[in-house]
Amino acid sequence: MMEKLLDFRIISFDTNGGSSVPEQRLLRGELLTKPENPERESFLFVNWIDDNDVEWNFNTIPGGDMILYAGWLRFGIYFSTLDTSGVGNLGSVGLGYNIPPSQTITVTNNPASELDTGLMSITVSGVNAGSFSISKNSLENLEPGESEDFVLSFLPVLPAGFYTARVTVSNGSFISASFLVTMVVEKAAGSAVSTPVISGSDTSPVITVTTPSTLVTPTGQSIEYAISTLNNGTGLSVWQDGLVFSGLSAGAEYFVYARSKENSNYLAGPISASSNAVSFNTASIGITIINVPGSGLMLDTTENIVLYRTSNPLFKTVPLEITNAGNFINIQWIYNGIPLGSGASLVLNVSDDRYNSDGIKLLTITFLHNGVPESLTLTFTVAE
């Protein structure tokens, strides 16, 4: 009842597939406020028209309820040379490529378009935009159905990696279309390296690369090393830059392997094995000189000392060490009256002709304790 008393005019907007526009309610004699232009993909808004197909003049006072209709012009360009994914994929090349990849891009004004494109610009954007080049920066006006080409290229000679950018063609107004371009530069094969030279000791759980490997090809890669008890290049799970390996297990033979290290441009190179293996037989057998009340000084060791000539090649030598040697002076190791060495340690070696016959042997240790000469006997065995 109130609307009839106030004589409202209801104005509706039919956007013909575009974004919605709210209706307006006007008092008699009021002008219609021009709404914001609706949007519709691939169409350019032109004007509002009435039921008589006449463009509405917003300086005209509506005479009653009415519907205004959006007028559109179809437009649109597309890239007819791209694949169905809409991505410009230049593929992949290996590091050091000589011929930069390129692709011809054809821009077409849709034959169903009702508008010319006008002059259009071509731009490349994104993090890797500088890695791509285009043969021209603009395209001439295209009438509906017309096309024009430009060439998209990848620059020479770039580092390994994944490159991407966005190419946009626009007339700066109502026409704009873009696509993603990708390019991959694959890492090259790593350089081979020379054979590492290694050394170790039967009595120390350490292997040292005494002559480091060098690159066969000057790729600029660093070199890394690994060890394994296998001689076929398997089991190499941990690689290191350092030249020293420690913490070896007694009784095992170790081979050292070297290769060029993977970096941003090169893959890890082929493996080069040391020409020899190094074995660490055992840790030193500890011998402690103890003072037993009522019995005097005695030797205390929990391990049997055995040298093998052939049956166990890893135990051809056995290191001995007096753990508390600092309590004594002038320590001498004597076998059958023959001095074998002096100091806190001695390495028994089965190749020593003085005691390498089969059987149980007696090893005498002499020293001074509190200024008094002392002598203790240790047994060891030589076996086949």
Predicted structure pTM score: 0.60
**DSSP string covering 170-197, please?**
E-SSS-EEEEEEEEEEEPBPPPPBPPPE
Arithmetic mean of pLDDT, 23-36: 93
160 and 129 in one domain? yes
Q: How high is the pLDDT of residue 61?
A: 92
Beta strand 138-139 pairing with 132-134: unpaired
Element (H, E) at 157: none
Q: How high is the pLDDT of residue 280?
A: 64
Evaluate whether residue 221 is within a structural domain: yes
Distances (CA, A) of 56 to 20, 60, 61, 181: 18, 8, 10, 45
Least confident of 215-224, 243-252, 255-264: 243-252
Q: Pick the residue with more confidence: 136 or 383?
A: 136
Euclidean distance between CA atoms 252 and 28, whole angstroms: 104
What sign does the CA torsion over 259, 263, 266, 268 have? positive
Q: How high is the pLDDT of residue 253?
A: 80
How many domains in the chain?
Answer: 4
The percent of residues in the chain predicted with pLDDT above 90, rounded, is: 58
Is 86's pLDDT higher than 80? no
Evaluate whether residue 182 is within a structural domain: yes
Q: Pick the residue with more confidence: 44 or 382?
A: 382
Euclidean distance between CA atoms 319 and 202, whole angstroms: 8
Q: How high is the pLDDT of residue 80?
A: 78
Is 1's pLDDT higher than 50? no
Q: How high is the pLDDT of residue 154?
A: 92
Is 362's pLDDT higher than 90? yes
Nearest to 183 by CA among 149, 218, 207, 158: 158
DSSP state of 38: P
Euclidean distance between CA atoms 175 and 117, whole angstroms: 7
Average pLDDT score over the chain: 88
Domain containing residue 209: 197-280
What is the phi/psi pair of residue 325, to 5°? -60, -20
Evaluate whether residue 18 is within a structural domain: yes
163 and 215 in one domain? no
Q: Pick the residue with more confidence: 177 or 253?
A: 177
* CB contact at 8 A, 160 and 187: yes
Chosen domain end from 42, 74, 106: 74
Q: Provide the CA 151 distance to its chain's centre, in angstroms.
A: 33
313 and 219 in one domain? no
